[in-house]
Amino acid sequence: PLASLQDPTLLKTQALVNGQWVDGSSRFAVHDPATGALLAEVANLGAAETEHAIAAANAAWPAWRALTAKARGAILMKWFHLLHQHADDLARIMTAEQGKPLAESRGEVGYGASFIEWFAEEARRAYGETIPTTDPTKRYLVVRQPVGVCAAITPWNFPIAMITRKVAPALAAGCPVVIKPAEATPLSALAVAELALRAGMPDGVLNVITADAQRSIEVGKVLCASDTVRHLSFTGSTEVGRILMQQCAPTVKKLSLELGGNAPFIVFDDADLDAAVEGALVSKYRNAGQTCVCANRLYAQAGIYEAFVEKLAARVAEMKVGNGFEPGVVQGPLIDAEALNKVETLMGDALAKGARVLTGGARASVAGGAFYQPTVLANVDASMRMAREEIFGPVAPVFRFESEADAVRMANDTEFGLASYFYSRDVGRIFRVSEALEYGMVGVNTGLISTCEVPFGGVKQSGLGREGARQGLDDYLETKYVCLGGL
Ligand code: ADP
């Protein structure tokens, strides 16, 4: 699938350190999850190269921070336009290594690029303040300055957007970055880095350390232990987030963490059912259910339960599963066999405890990768593992509830708190429920909530900090108070 790129030079297999494409001591394989085919062998870097990248970033910092926000923004805007100009190639690379349908990959290129444009503009508004003095001989000033060298460790489910959402605010704020992309999807990261160089990014300001699963642990340790790295941003599992947080304790590093979710999707009796079904489809099955904001637990009120599950199952049964390059395919493979095993384990547990399959319920008969049928389950209850664990696959368990209070209680009964959704036409209920949900994000009558202008992030064990929006810049800026005396 990568033979037909319009610009084959976007296909990079070396890592980027200090503006140079470099090799490590070995290489690791990147596969197409739809076919299992080998796509590329990518440089496998370790501790020494990571130290080198951190030093290069630190050396590049003074000149980068000395530029005005507008001048940094001009480079970012060029980068943004280059992503759009090469959107077709970037989408092909993404579908090849990640598996999502080509239309979804194109959508992600636009979404990923939007963060670059947004923060290019937003950094010019990193305002400080003056505080009214309480001493006539003094004045109080507050300024905001870049935190320093930043590290970003990113997942495979959004190979471009999870990078730009961290890197764009860091760069815009005046911080150089060292990125460790997911081992399953390094090619998208490297293509985007190549475009950053073409946009005029100075050497050392943006570095990409590619590494396989084992070396990623080593690279992560170096990034966390470094006193030069002042901020770590991570998107991935809660389990790895905890490890990184611990590793960052000795250097008291600033942290932004986007971790796991267990999103509830509640449909009340008074909802517009057809709209709720459409919302559930995009929220649940996008990216084959592999997003941290995917509906994980669907709750339908008793009065509309049967009607909702029937309508949902009918729409889900129409979904075409297959290779993401094939026209009409709306669901690709899961990322790997391990992901498929997890879905099958959770399904086995639910079926053993009495769940009823309305559609799907098995591997899809597509040769090659880890394909699973889009699935709807009824008769599910809180004893099943999928009530507590993130499925990260195309399975929608639909729970039944009686009252509004029950729905809120069940929805909040989790250690996670990222995204939540509900459908209702009652204005009082909309206020009550959106205020009662213990989540960082609430979608009311919509299953799609993310855009660069709004703060994305979670409460409880779903993470720390917010990405995107005005707030997304905060993590990359220190607040400095200057007391001007002797007036
Ligand atoms: P997922 O389950 O989505 O693969 P992970 O949390 O395992 O999420 O991985 C997300 C990112 O974290 C990837 O880039 C991966 O290489 C990296 N990673 C995984 N384990 C560690 C670790 N112990 N230290 C540093 N990075 C890690």
Q: Is 220 in the pocket of ligand 1 (CB under 6 A)?
A: yes
Q: Which residue has the higher pLDDT, 53 or 367?
A: 53
User: What confidence tier does 434 reach under pLDDT thresholds 50, 70, 90?
Assistant: very high
Cα of 211 vs centre of ligand 1, distance in Å, is 11
Instruction: Return mean pLDDT, the chain.
Output: 98
Give the span between the Cα atoms of 343 and 347, in whole angstroms. 6
pLDDT tens track for 446-458 = 999 999 999 999 9
Cα of 417 vs centre of ligand 1, distance in Å, is 20
Q: What percentage of the chain exceeds 70 in pLDDT?
A: 100
Is the pLDDT assigned to residue 1 strictly greater than 90? no
Closest ligand 1 atom, CA of 181?
14
pLDDT tens track for 352-363 = 999 999 999 999
- How high is the pLDDT of residue 163? 98
Cα of 86 vs centre of ligand 1, distance in Å, is 28
CB proximity list for 161: less than 8 A, separation 6 or greater: 108, 111, 112, 115
94-108 residues labelled b (16+ CB within 10 A) or e (exposed)? bbbbbbbbbebbbbb
- How high is the pLDDT of residue 79? 99
List the residue whose alpha carbon is closest to atom 22 of ligand 1: 217
3-state secondary structure of 123: helix
User: What confidence tier does 256 reach under pLDDT thresholds 50, 70, 90?
Assistant: very high
User: What confidence tier does 298 reach under pLDDT thresholds 50, 70, 90?
Assistant: very high
Angle of CA points 9, 168, 204, to nearest 5°: 60
Distances (CA, A) of 242 to 95, 166, 230, 259: 30, 19, 18, 9
- How high is the pLDDT of residue 232? 98
Provide the pairing of β-strand 295-301 with 395-401: parallel
Phi, psi for residue 234 in degrees, rounded to 5: -135, 135
Q: Is 243 in the pocket of ligand 1 (CB under 6 A)?
A: yes
Q: Is 153 in the pocket of ligand 1 (CB under 6 A)?
A: yes
Cα of 413 vs centre of ligand 1, distance in Å, is 26
Tokens describing residue 342:
């997890």
Tokens describing residue 437:
């949900």
Q: What percentage of the chain exceeds 90 in pLDDT?
A: 99
Give the span between the Cα atoms of 471 and 349, in whole angstroms. 41
- For 418-461, where are the E strands, in sequence order? 419-423, 441-444
Per annotation, catalytic residue among 183, 258, 404, 467: 258
What are the strands of the beta sheet with 149-153, ordered from one edge?
20-22, 15-17, 206-208, 177-180, 149-153, 229-235, 254-258, 463-464
Per the listing, tokens 């190639």 go with 89
Amino acid at 154: T
Q: Is 295 left (phi over 0), alpha (psi -120 to 50) or beta?
A: beta
- For 372-440, where are the E strands, in sequence order? 375-378, 395-401, 419-423
pLDDT tens track for 139-185 = 999 999 999 999 999 999 999 999 999 999 999 999 999 999 999 99
Distances (CA, A) of 311 to 57, 217, 296, 306, 378: 53, 45, 18, 9, 12
15, burial (CB in 10 Å: exposed 0-12, middle 13-18, buried 19+): buried
User: What confidence tier does 56 reach under pLDDT thresholds 50, 70, 90?
Assistant: very high
Closest ligand 1 atom, CA of 235?
10
Give the span between the Cα atoms of 282 and 294, in whole angstroms. 8
With beta carbons less than 8 A apart as the criterion, state whether 167 and 177 touch: yes
Is the pLDDT assigned to residue 429 strictly greater than 90? yes
ipTM computed for the complex: 0.98
Q: Is 249 in the pocket of ligand 1 (CB under 6 A)?
A: no
Q: Full-prediction pTM beyond 0.95?
A: yes
- How high is the pLDDT of residue 281? 98
Our answer to whether residue 258 is catalytic in this structure is yes
Q: Is 155 in the pocket of ligand 1 (CB under 6 A)?
A: yes
Give the span between the Cα atoms of 63 and 175, in whole angstroms. 10
Give the span between the Cα atoms of 266 and 12, in whole angstroms. 44
pLDDT tens track for 214-247 = 999 999 999 999 999 999 999 999 999 999 999 9
Across 460-464, average pLDDT:
97
What are the strands of the beta sheet with 139-146, ordered from one edge?
129-131, 139-146, 477-484
Tokens describing residue 168:
């764009």
Cα of 214 vs centre of ligand 1, distance in Å, is 10
